[in-house]
Structure formats: structure tokens, C-alpha cells
């Protein structure tokens, strides 16, 4: 298998154009993005089973929607589909899951510090952000740039910047107990 | 330096265009690095077996997944289907929903988006007596002269152009898009002129026409809403909160039926928006698969239909339940559960379920009243 962290390449659009005429030509794009999309799904859903389900659905939907794709940013388009799929699956899970427990918990700085010392669980951190903030951070971690995130979330660049700024402020507070006591 | 400026500089830094003066964003950048390190450390890689299996299923010329739950295997004729050359031996590890999804895309790839016929899935060889004849799925050909293009409308420039099936009401086609689910483009069907286009307040999960109104339902970011929009002007007329994410929407006269992803059906009065009745249908969904309605934008949405005062709901497990539209009283349910991507339609006054990715392409529910016990 190729390097899972391989960065998107500039020929995405060319590959898409070919794949619009011949779906089998989508395979290189699949290989390029299956790892990152899986990681993105896992980040939100937290289990291998759900992440695999989500990854399958993303590529099924992408293949089906490909004829209607217009030139733009393929990566943002694919992650927009991924975000919708993951959001749907996330909503459909049983509510007694890690995210909800972590989101409703109110950790003290000591607990956060303890978690940091013990290798903090990023999913637990992100679960405490608002859904909009979490979307932005997860797409940023997936490697999308600001305009791509705005495209994927159907929001203005300014709105994404504001969400991103507040999200990282929140994360800074969570990661550094001293910030809380200032 | 305002918060806006700091947010801008922070964003530029993350995009790799670091300004000279970060001015307040330094500690946030350190936070971003820490979070990225955590992400990299905890980066989950899919198993090679999964990646290979999915690739085979997506791109092999013909693959018929085995082991799909659903109606009894009806088809001796399927034994001669071509088998994948390198099908993985542990296919059973792939979940049911994934197999269904994979099969569905194969149907799309084999038959094209519009014509789901032909090849190994040809319904003409299906022994089920209720199968719809293949001709019903549009095999007829027409000459280019006979068809003729009347007009075309480009997608909204701010979208990627991948549009979903439009809703047509009172001569206006309402078009929405996969990647920009809050955008609507209203097109006059006679002239092809765009009447209005722009964002609505919700990310649209389902929509329906109601005379001059366009009804859309989905999340506004904080909660779920049903929003009524003037179809000719795009002006919002009213909105109503919904308890759950919407999975189906039907308008019949002055009554709106909304199916929630929690398998609850509600009816509202179109004029007053008062709730007329509400019925929970979760007991018709197997406890093991009670994940609510699985929404595949562009593939589902037709989950509620009406025939002669009876409203039928296609639940997440493919089971059909019928209620009296006026009172919400349960009428009958069909015992069959259909796996695959199911859609509900009305043909010649009968409910028809189509299921992509299952062993059936379509079936007509048994509308013989089945006793429904209360509770």
C-alpha cells in the first residue's frame, strides 16, 4: 500500500476528468484518499467498524456524484461528502458513547493535565468543541487549507477563520491548565 | 490588533503563509502544533485488507457480494453470475451496510444513473411475481431529434455543480447540491430562467413542494427545522422546530407528514403548522439495527408516500408501515424487510418499494391488512 499520509497531488482534477468518462479511472484517486478519509472518519466516529462503513459510503457517494462534479477543488468536494456521511453516522450511533460522555464531562485542569501526561485522547478533546468548531479543526487536521475548509463546509472564509480561532483558543485552554487559572 | 486580525494571521500561518508579525497568534500556533502532533500520533490507518476489498468491490467489473441479509435467496439464476476474480475470503467481516452500499454503486456503474437494468441484475430473470417488468425502467430509445434540448441551466457558481434530484412544484424546479446543502436554485420549467437562488437557513436533508411553497427541512446548526419558502420569490414564510433530523417529507393537500430519523412520523397542518398527530414507529425496526434512518443524500428521501388516505412509511430496515393519514392510526405493516438502499414510490395507486443493492430490484408490499397489536 502506498504511504497513507501521501499529500494530495496536483493532478487530482485531471484524474477526475478522466474518471467522469470512465469510473474505473477513479481508482488512483481512491488509493490516494482512502487512508485520509478513513482517518477523518475514525477521528469522529471512534471505531474501526464505523470508520470503515463511513469510508465505503464516502467513495460510493463520490463515484455516484462524480458525473455532476464541476472543476473546483476535488479534495474539498470529497471531504464535504465525507463530512456529511460522518455527521449522519455520528448522529445515528447509540448516545452512550465516548463522545457524549466526554462532551458532557466537565474536567478539571488537573484531569486534563493528567490526561496530557498519559497521552491525551484527541477525540476526547475535540468532543468538547462545538460541532461547527470541531468540523473546522478536523478538516484542518485532515490537511485542508482555509479556502478548502470553507468550501467543504459551505461557509464563508471569514466564518471559518472565526470558528477556527475560537476552536484553537478552546483547545489551548484544554491543553494548558494554567490558562484556566489565569 | 483586533480578534479578527489575530484570527486572520493565525489562519494565514496555518495555511503556510506566515505573516511576519503574528501578533498574538503565537501561542495558538503552538496549540495547533500540539494538536497536530496528537493527531499524527493517533492517526488511524485502515487495514490493508479493508482497502483492498473495498477497491475490488468498487472497481472490479462485476461483483456480487454474498451474505447480504434480506429476503430469502430467490434466484437459482444467480448461480451463473460472474464472480470476482480476487474476492477476499473474509468478506463476512465487511458490515451489512457497507455491502449494500457497494452493491448499490455497482448497480449505478453497471446500469448508469438512470437505467437500472441489464446484465446480471436484469429483473426480467427475477422469479418474483411482483417484479416490475424491465420496460418500466426505461429501456426505450428515442432519436435525438425527438428529444431535443429545450434549455439548460448552469449550477450556481459557488457550488461544485454536483446537484441532487430536483423537486418540481407549480412549474418551478428546485435544485440543491451535494456539497452545498443549504443552497437552492429555483428554475422556471417553462423558460429555464432562474427565479431565485441562494442559501436557505438549513442544510437541506429533505424537501418537498406544496403549491407555491417550497418546504425544506434539516439542521440550522443548532437544531432541526422545517422551513417554508415562497417558491417564486425565495422569501421565507414560516418555520417550525423539529425534534429530530428529518428523513422523509410528504405534502398531501393541507397536511405535511415529516418522518424523523428516529422513525417517528408527525403530521402538521400546512396553514397553521399545528401538529395533528405523532406516531413512533421504532417498534417496527429490529433492535439490532436501530440506527434510525440512514440518509444517503441523493439516494434516499422517498420514504413517505400516500395512496387514498393511507400514508406509508418506509423504515430504516426496509419495512413498510401504513397509517391513516387523517388520524395517524396504524393500518397495516408489511412483514418483509428489505436490505439495500430502499425508496418508496406510488405506481398506479400502489405502493412500490425499490431496493438497490439487494436481491430484489422492486417489490410490491402485501397490503393485506395485517393485525397490528397496540403497545
Classify residue A161: in a domain, yes or no. Answer: no
CB-based contacts of B48, cutoff 8 Å, min separation 6: A1
The reported pLDDT for the residue numbered B32 is 86
Domain with residue A6: its CATH number is 1.10.1740.10
pLDDT winner (highest mean) among B2-16, B191-205, B355-369 = B191-205
| B179: confidence class by pLDDT, cuts 50, 70, 90 | low
Please state the ipTM of this predicted complex: 0.78
**Mean of all residue pLDDT scores within chain A:** 77
Nearest CA in chain B to A169: B28
pLDDT winner (highest mean) among A23-27, B59-63, B287-291 = A23-27
Classify residue A57: in a domain, yes or no. Answer: yes
CB-based contacts of A117, cutoff 8 Å, min separation 6: none
Q: Which residue has the higher pLDDT, B46 or B130?
A: B46
CB-based contacts of A116, cutoff 8 Å, min separation 6: A175
Percent of chain A at pLDDT > 90 equals 21
Classify residue A76: in a domain, yes or no. Answer: yes
Counted domains in chain A? 1
- Whether B41 has a pLDDT exceeding 90, the answer reads no
Q: Which residue has the higher pLDDT, B101 or A60?
A: A60
The reported pLDDT for the residue numbered B174 is 93
Q: Which residue has the higher pLDDT, A50 or B300?
A: A50
| Chosen from B61, B179, B219 to mutate, greatest number of chain A CBs within 10 A | B179
Q: A94-123, pLDDT tens digit by residue?
A: 544 444 444 444 444 444 444 444 457 788
Chain B interface includes A10 (CB < 8 A) = no
**Mean of all residue pLDDT scores within chain B:** 69
Euclidean distance between CA atoms B292 and B126, whole angstroms: 30
Euclidean distance between CA atoms A124 and A126, whole angstroms: 6
Residue numbers of B between 59 and 78 with CB closer than 8 Å to A: 59
Q: Which residue has the higher pLDDT, B366 or B136?
A: B366
Euclidean distance between CA atoms B342 and B319, whole angstroms: 9
Percent of chain B at pLDDT > 70 equals 59
Classify residue A85: in a domain, yes or no. Answer: yes
Nearest CA in chain B to A79: B179
Q: Which domain holds residue A18?
A: 1-93
Contact between residue B250 and residue B305 where contact means Cβ atoms under 8 Å apart? yes
Task: Identify the weakest region by mean pLDDT among A4-18, B98-112, B245-259.
Answer: B98-112
Taking CB atoms and an 8 Å cutoff, what residues of chain A touch B221?
A: 131-132
The reported pLDDT for the residue numbered B173 is 93
Residue numbers of B between 286 and 315 with CB closer than 8 Å to A: 291-292, 294-299
Residues B311-336: what's their mean pLDDT?
Answer: 86
Classify residue A162: in a domain, yes or no. Answer: no
Q: Is B53 helix (H, G, I), strand (E, B) or coil?
A: helix
Of B31, B48, B179, the CB nearest to A1: B48
The reported pLDDT for the residue numbered A21 is 79
Distance from CA of B198 to the nearest CA of A (A): 12
- Whether B213 has a pLDDT exceeding 90, the answer reads yes
Amino acid at each position: 500500500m502506498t504511504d497513507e499520509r501521501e499529500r494530495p497531488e496536483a493532478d487530482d482534477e485531471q484524474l477526475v476528468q478522466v474518471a467522469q468518462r470512465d469510473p474505473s479511472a477513479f481508482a488512483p484517486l481512491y488509493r490516494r484518499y482512502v487512508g485520509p478519509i478513513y482517518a477523518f472518519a475514525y477521528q469522529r466516529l471512534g471505531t474501526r467498524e464505523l470508520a470503515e462503513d463511513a469510508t465505503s459510503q464516502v467513495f460510493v457517494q463520490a463515484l455516484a456524484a462524480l458525473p455532476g462534479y464541476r472543476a473546483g477543488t476535488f479534495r474539498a468536494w470529497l471531504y464535504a461528502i465525507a463530512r456529511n456521511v460522518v455527521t449522519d453516522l455520528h448522529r445515528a450511533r447509540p448516545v452512550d458513547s465516548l463522545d457524549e460522555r466526554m462532551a458532557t464531562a466537565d474536567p478539571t485542569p488537573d484531569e486534563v493535565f493528567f490526561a496530557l501526561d498519559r497521552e491525551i485522547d484527541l477525540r476526547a478533546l475535540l468532543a468538547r468543541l462545538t460541532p461547527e468548531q470541531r468540523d473546522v479543526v478536523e478538516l484542518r487536521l485532515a490537511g485542508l487549507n482555509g479556502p478548502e475548509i470553507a468550501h467543504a463546509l459551505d461557509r464563508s472564509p471569514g466564518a471559518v477563520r472565526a470558528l477556527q480561532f475560537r476552536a484553537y483558543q478552546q483547545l489551548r485552554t484544554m491543553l494548558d491548565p494554567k490558562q484556566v487559572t489565569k | 490588533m483586533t480578534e479578527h486580525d489575530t484570527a486572520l494571521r493565525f489562519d494565514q500561518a496555518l495555511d503556510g503563509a506566515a505573516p511576519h508579525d503574528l501578533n498574538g497568534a503565537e501561542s495558538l500556533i503552538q496549540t495547533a502544533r500540539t494538536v497536530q502532533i496528537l493527531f499524527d500520533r493517533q492517526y488511524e490507518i485502515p487495514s490493508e485488507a479493508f482497502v483492498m476489498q473495498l477497491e475490488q468491490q468498487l472497481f472490479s467489473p462485476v461483483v456480487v457480494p454474498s451474505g447480504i441479509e434480506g429476503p430469502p435467496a430467490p434466484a437459482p439464476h444467480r448461480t451463473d453470475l460472474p464472480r470476482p476474480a480476487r474476492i477476499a475470503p473474509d468478506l463476512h467481516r465487511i458490515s451489512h451496510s457497507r455491502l449494500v452500499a457497494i452493491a448499490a454503486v455497482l448497480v449505478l456503474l453497471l446500469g448508469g444513473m438512470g437505467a437500472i437494468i441489464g446484465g446480471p441484475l436484469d429483473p426480467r430473470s427475477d422469479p418474483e411475481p411482483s417484479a416490475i417488468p424491465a420496460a418500466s425502467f426505461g429501456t426505450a430509445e428515442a432519436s435525438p431529434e425527438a428529444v431535443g434540448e429545450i434549455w439548460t441551466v448552469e449550477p450556481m457558481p459557488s457550488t461544485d455543480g454536483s446537484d441532487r434530484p430536483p423537486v418540481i412544484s407549480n412549474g418551478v424546479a428546485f435544485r440543491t447540491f451535494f456539497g452545498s446543502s443549504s443552497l437552492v436554485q429555483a428554475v422556471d420549467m417553462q423558460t429555464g430562467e432562474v427565479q431565485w437562488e441562494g442559501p436557505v437557513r438549513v442544510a437541506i436533508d429533505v424537501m418537498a413542494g406544496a403549491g407555491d411553497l417550497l418546504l425544506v427541512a434539516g439542521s440550522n446548526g443548532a437544531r432541526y427545522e422545517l422551513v417554508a419558502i415562497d417558491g417564486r420569490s425565495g422569501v421565507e414564510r414560516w418555520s417550525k422546530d423539529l425534534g429530530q433530523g428529518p428523513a422523509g417529507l410528504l405534502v398531501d393537500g393541507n397536511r405535511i407528514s415529516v418522518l424523523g430519523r428516529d422513525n417517528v412520523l408527525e403530521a402538521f397542518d400546512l396553514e397553521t403548522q399545528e401538529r395533528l398527530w405523532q406516531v413512533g414507529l421504532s417498534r417496527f425496526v429490529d433492535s439490532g439495527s436501530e440506527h434510525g434512518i440512514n440518509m444517503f443524500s441523493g439516494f434516499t428521501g422517498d420514504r413517505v408516500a400516500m395512496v387514498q388516505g393511507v400514508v406509508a412509511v418506509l423504515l430504516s430496515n426496509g419495512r413498510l408501515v401504513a397509517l391513516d393519514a387523517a388520524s395517524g392510526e396504524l393500518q397495516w405493516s408489511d412483514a418483509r424487510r428489505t436490505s439495500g438502499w430502499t425508496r418508496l414510490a406510488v405506481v398506479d395507486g400502489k405502493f412500490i418499494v425499490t431496493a438497490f443493492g439487494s436481491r430484489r430490484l422492486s417489490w410490491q408490499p402485501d397490503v393485506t391488512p395485517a393485525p397490528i397489536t397496540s403497545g
